[in-house]
A and B are shown apart, each in its own frame.
Chain A
Amino acid sequence: MFLLLPFDSLVVNLLGISITVLFTLLLVFIIVPAIFGVSFGIRKVYMKTLLKIFQWATLRIERGAKEKNHPLYKPYVNGIIAKEPMSLEEEIKEIRRSGSGKALDTPEFELSDIFYFCRKGIETIMDDEVTKRFSAEELESWNLLSRTNYNFQYISLRLTVLWGLGMLIRYCFLLPLRIALAFTGISLLVTGTTVVGYLPNGRCKEFLSKHVHLMCYRICVRALTAIITYHDRENRPRNGGICVANHTSPIDVIILASDGYYAMVGQIHGGLMGVIQRAMVKACPHVWFERSEVKDRHLVAKRLTEHVQDKSKLPILIFPEGTCINNTSVMMFKKGSFEIGATVYPVAIKYDPQFGDAFWNSSKYGMVTYLLRMMTSWAIVCSVWYLPPMTRQPEEDAVQFANRVKSAIARQGGLVDLLWDGGLKREKVKDTFKEEQQKLYSKMIVGNHEDRSRS
């Protein structure tokens, strides 16, 4: 009987000690550096170690596949179909040429013209440029996350053990740690901004507000184990400007805001998000809109213009794509933010998908599921480039300016510059695009027809 008592207290003691140690570690290595904006470099070491392990894992899978003499599943981002490089005119002329042997200068409608559109239609049914952009970019090496592996049957015992160990670490060690950090970060943000909100307006309030915001965002960055490399920091956005970036996930906000002090723009949500938003606006003039106001474009433009014209106000952070894209391309920028007439500071964000896929497919996952996936990935590795500021030239309109900014961002981030509208994920194509292709073909036929009837 005497043996039981010390055993019980031993367990309790051990538990107490481990929790204390954990929290001390947390405080010293994560929270304190976050407050002061310093880094020990632990995450970089972590990243390098992981890379070595992933390389080893990929080699094992390849070896396993070679032994069994099977091809590996290799996903293709560039599509599966070889598209013909010829234009509409060239193709139709070629078909007609090979046909009736008529002179080429008597073009009129031919039975064979239908064939070009038919084939193009089947090609898009087989493989579509736009829909590809919206599913998570497919990886070429395995990063020990089962959700990204299609070659399961080639995994040896050693690899399975490693994967199991990885899963244990991610779910039982990293996840609780990250949740604790996130909780700390968010509650500090809410209480900090509320407290600062009670101070009278002035330099002191601004200083404190800036540092409360930065500190909490840094804690959140560590909560996701985000390893960010900032490039060209001398181009960081200044007061009175608009910061424009490509959008892959809600995490983009945290990444940018942990390196600079921005005024956010957005719609007021309910729930936890709403609480955070309402607290933040007490300390710093963020621009939040009610749901009904968002539809009114003039109202939105007016408020934003007022904000940027006040030079003492912070730069606004806007994501003009309007929705999350899977980080292989940049889609059409909505022209609203480019009409305001302020200096635009473009920022390119590129995620490295090897450690964890940051893309939020909002039609597939809800916000909570998405956050859980993020927190059980190894890390989020990304690069941020601050591009030199751009202003609208007198001879270009808002759309052209938006496209110019978009190209600059795409080029810097190594992303493909697409003309497509990101809103396509949910809506249907606008009719104006449909007309272009049809006009081209009918111009070919009718233009020539008119020439003939005239002669």
Chain B
Amino acid sequence: LPCAQGAHPHHLSLFSPLAVTSEQIEHLHRRFKQLSRDQLTIRKENFDSIPDLEFNPIRGKIVHAFFDKRNLRQESDGLADEINFEDFLTIMSYFRPIEMNMDEEQLDHFRKKKLKFLFHMYDSDHDGKITLQEYRNVVEELLSGNPHLEKESARSIADGAMMEAASICVGQMGPDQVYEGITFEDFLKMWQGIDIETKMHVRFLNMETIAHCY
């Protein structure tokens, strides 16, 4: 059975029993095996076999997020060369939907985890701050591919957005004050009011489990 080697019982602790069933883990394991071509680990090149992903302007950042050690384990840093199925599930766990029975504290923790994932996507040099240059990078990537858009326009859009972010986080700045960058606390402030936890998830289809009778 495909589940045998990959999914040990402790994987279920990453997902509470209500959110993801062992059947869904089995599905993900099959997907993992398809991507890894039956190897035990995946490298960045393996993501090239997903044609739909080419559509996505921030493809590079998404793939990078899978190998970003800050997402894989708490309190670690740097980039991994390859990830195994457990790491794959860890990244997927950032996209699990909320459950009805979560209390305030759990919801808050949940939300912070998801926002941290997005923060790491912006903060590409791992210094804990989103600088103007990093912000520009993201905007340019998102707007890239449009031949009519000049680099200057993309830049000015990014600069405008950054200024606005600064005004939210720090308030009015003096002429000689330098805004170093958006820290994670500032980042949280900017997402206030946006229900990320209800939107940042991938839902499994409700699957019936009894075969049809002909």
Verify if A204 is at the interface (C-beta below 8 Å from B). no
Q: Which of A9-17, A105-113, A344-352, A372-380 contacts B (4 or more CB under 8 A)?
A: A105-113
Contact at B118–A114, with CB atoms within 8 Å? yes
State in angstroms the CA–CA spacing of A81 and B203 once bound together: 6
Q: How far is the CB of A402 from chain B (nearest CB, A)?
A: 20
Majority DSSP secondary structure for residues of B touching A? helix
Verify if B90 is at the interface (C-beta below 8 Å from A). no
Contact at B139–A109, with CB atoms within 8 Å? yes
State in angstroms the CA–CA spacing of A438 and B145 once bound together: 6
B161-176 to A contact mask, C-beta < 8 Å, 1/0:
1000100000000000
Verify if B6 is at the interface (C-beta below 8 Å from A). no
Q: How far is the CB of A118 from chain B (nearest CB, A)?
A: 6
Chain A residues near B177 (CB-CB < 8 A) = none
State in angstroms the CA–CA spacing of A66 and B213 once bound together: 13
Q: Interface size bucket, B side?
A: 35 or more
Contact at B200–A80, with CB atoms within 8 Å? no
Interfacial residues of chain B within 117-155, with CB under 8 A of chain A in the complex: 118, 121-122, 138-139, 142-147, 149, 153
Contact of A108 (CB < 8 Å), options: B55, B58, B157, B195: B157
Contact at B143–A442, with CB atoms within 8 Å? yes
Interfacial residues of chain B within 32-57, with CB under 8 A of chain A in the complex: 34-35, 47-57
Chain A residues near B157 (CB-CB < 8 A) = 108-109, 445-446, 449
Q: Given A108-B161, A117-B58, does the pair A442, B145 have CB atoms closer than 8 Å?
A: yes
Chain B residues near A126 (CB-CB < 8 A) = 28, 31, 92, 202
Verify if B15 is at the interface (C-beta below 8 Å from A). no
Q: How far is the CB of B107 from chain A (nearest CB, A)?
A: 16
Q: How far is the CB of A389 from chain B (nearest CB, A)?
A: 34
Chain B residues near A120 (CB-CB < 8 A) = 55-56
Contact at A118–B62, with CB atoms within 8 Å? yes
Chain B residues near A445 (CB-CB < 8 A) = 143, 157
Q: How far is the CB of B156 from chain A (nearest CB, A)?
A: 8
Q: How far is the CB of B25 from chain A (nearest CB, A)?
A: 11
Verify if A172 is at the interface (C-beta below 8 Å from B). no
Contact of B56 (CB < 8 Å), options: A81, A110, A121: A121
Contact at B58–A98, with CB atoms within 8 Å? no
Q: How far is the CB of A443 from chain B (nearest CB, A)?
A: 7
Chain A residues near B144 (CB-CB < 8 A) = 438
Contact at B160–A108, with CB atoms within 8 Å? yes
Contact at A80–B145, with CB atoms within 8 Å? no
Q: Given A118-B121, A131-B34, does the pair A62, B214 have CB atoms closer than 8 Å?
A: no
Contact at A446–B149, with CB atoms within 8 Å? yes
Contact at A80–B205, with CB atoms within 8 Å? yes
Chain B residues near A78 (CB-CB < 8 A) = 205
Contact at B49–A131, with CB atoms within 8 Å? yes
A105-137 to B contact mask, C-beta < 8 Å, 1/0:
000111111110111111111111111000000
Verify if B24 is at the interface (C-beta below 8 Å from A). yes
Residue of A55, A100, A111 with most partner-chain B CB within 10 A: A111
Chain A residues near B165 (CB-CB < 8 A) = 111
| Number of interchain pairs (Cβ within 8 Å) | 185
Contact at A74–B52, with CB atoms within 8 Å? no
Verify if B72 is at the interface (C-beta below 8 Å from A). no
Interfacial residues of chain B within 192-214, with CB under 8 A of chain A in the complex: 193-196, 199-205, 207-214
Q: Which of A191-199, A250-258, A426-434 contacts B (4 or more CB under 8 A)?
A: A426-434
Residue of A80, A101, A140, A435 with most partner-chain B CB within 10 A: A80
Contact at A428–B48, with CB atoms within 8 Å? yes
Interfacial residues of chain A within 49-69, with CB under 8 A of chain B in the complex: 55, 58-59, 61-62, 65-66
Contact at B55–A441, with CB atoms within 8 Å? no
Q: How far is the CB of B174 from chain A (nearest CB, A)?
A: 24
Verify if A275 is at the interface (C-beta below 8 Å from B). no
A362-389 to B contact mask, C-beta < 8 Å, 1/0:
0000000000000000000000000000
Verify if A72 is at the interface (C-beta below 8 Å from B). yes
State in angstroms the CA–CA spacing of A256 and B193 once bound together: 62
Contact at A101–B193, with CB atoms within 8 Å? yes
Verify if A95 is at the interface (C-beta below 8 Å from B). yes
**Mind listing 9 A-B residue pairs with CB under 8 Å?**
A58-B213, A62-B213, A95-B199, A114-B121, A118-B200, A119-B95, A124-B52, A141-B214, A429-B55
Instruction: List B residues at the A interface (Cβ < 8 Å).
Output: 1, 23-24, 27-28, 31, 34-35, 47-59, 61-62, 92, 95, 118, 121-122, 138-139, 142-147, 149, 153, 157-158, 160-161, 165, 187, 190-191, 193-196, 199-205, 207-214
16 more A-B residue pairs beyond the given contacts A98-B194, A118-B121, A438-B57, with a C-beta to C-beta distance below 8 A: A58-B214, A82-B204, A111-B191, A114-B138, A115-B118, A118-B61, A119-B95, A121-B59, A121-B62, A123-B202, A429-B51, A435-B146, A437-B56, A441-B143, A445-B157, A446-B153
